[in-house]
Amino acid sequence: MNSFIKKIILYTFKNIIFKQLKKNILESRMSTSISDNQIYPNFCIKASTDLSVFSNFRRNNHYRKILEHTSYEDGIDYLIEISKSKIEIEKHLKQFKQNDLWGNPELYDYPKIGKISPSTLRYLKVFTDLMLIFKKLDELKICEIGVGYGGQCRIINCATSPSEYVLVDIKPALMLTQCYLDNYILHSVIKYKTMNELEIKDYDLVISNYAFTELPRDIQDVY
């Protein structure tokens, strides 16, 4: 093989590698998290604008790849941790369980509390963690990054009264969140913001149920 042919092969190989690297960089810039792909946002838009889709969105296979995949066994573990916290949930249990009125989630019959979805138990576990650490959430300004369909916000608003609750996510997810939360009476002033709409201000509490860890480092730095 002469040197000219070798140069052509080497050039072609380098060109292929460069194009693939460029493609990977562009894709990483276009996606702000693992849930920011075309299937998930498109479904969120459809569920927020079509009542028949919204009525079953928590059972949709595409949606459950991102959310609503918590198992019955996970729910048992959450109940054990909730019990350990010694935070009283019985007083508001009926309101907590109303999280499952919309979207037709899978419900399981759990000891002592009856039918509830495991994802609602996860939100409830996070709520008891917050109460254990902060004692009260009333009058706080809360910001949540990556909000799913608003389940955590709604659980917190069942038993406490934050003065402001800012929900931050991609626009399609926020559309579905508002569609879900509009079915409930909430104690907080609710604001829906994308990352670029979020103003610089002080919050008393910033929370994120795993979503922050899914973000690329440069997006984390923005937050």
User: From the centroid of its chain, how far is CA 91?
Assistant: 26
The model carries a pTM of 0.80
- Tens digits of residue pLDDT in 171-198: 999 999 999 999 999 999 999 999 899 8
Residue 217: pLDDT band by 50, 70, 90 thresholds? Answer: confident
Cα–Cα distance measured from residue 116 to residue 105, given in angstroms and rounded to the nearest whole number: 9
For residue 17, tell me if it sits in a domain: no
For residue 7, tell me if it sits in a domain: no
Q: What letter does residue 136 receive in the DSSP assignment? A: -
Burial of 124 per CB tally in 10 Å (0-12, 13-18, 19+):
buried
For residue 59, tell me if it sits in a domain: yes
Residue 3: pLDDT band by 50, 70, 90 thresholds? Answer: low
Number of separate domains in the chain: 1
Cα–Cα distance measured from residue 153 to residue 164, given in angstroms and rounded to the nearest whole number: 11
User: From the centroid of its chain, how far is CA 129?
Assistant: 17
* Whether 117 contacts 106, CB under 8 Å: yes
The rounded mean pLDDT for the chain is 85
- Reduced to 3 states (helix: H, G, I; strand: E, B; else coil), residue 190 is strand
What pLDDT score was predicted for residue 19? Answer: 42
- Tens digits of residue pLDDT in 5-32: 444 434 343 444 334 433 443 344 344 4
Residue 211: pLDDT band by 50, 70, 90 thresholds? Answer: low
What pLDDT score was predicted for residue 153? Answer: 98
Burial of 173 per CB tally in 10 Å (0-12, 13-18, 19+):
buried
For residue 107, tell me if it sits in a domain: yes
- Return the CATH number at 159: 3.40.50
For residue 57, tell me if it sits in a domain: yes
For residue 75, tell me if it sits in a domain: yes
What pLDDT score was predicted for residue 105? Answer: 97
Residue 200: pLDDT band by 50, 70, 90 thresholds? Answer: confident
For residue 177, tell me if it sits in a domain: yes
Full domain range(s) for residue 79: 35-222
- Reduced to 3 states (helix: H, G, I; strand: E, B; else coil), residue 165 is strand
For residue 1, tell me if it sits in a domain: no
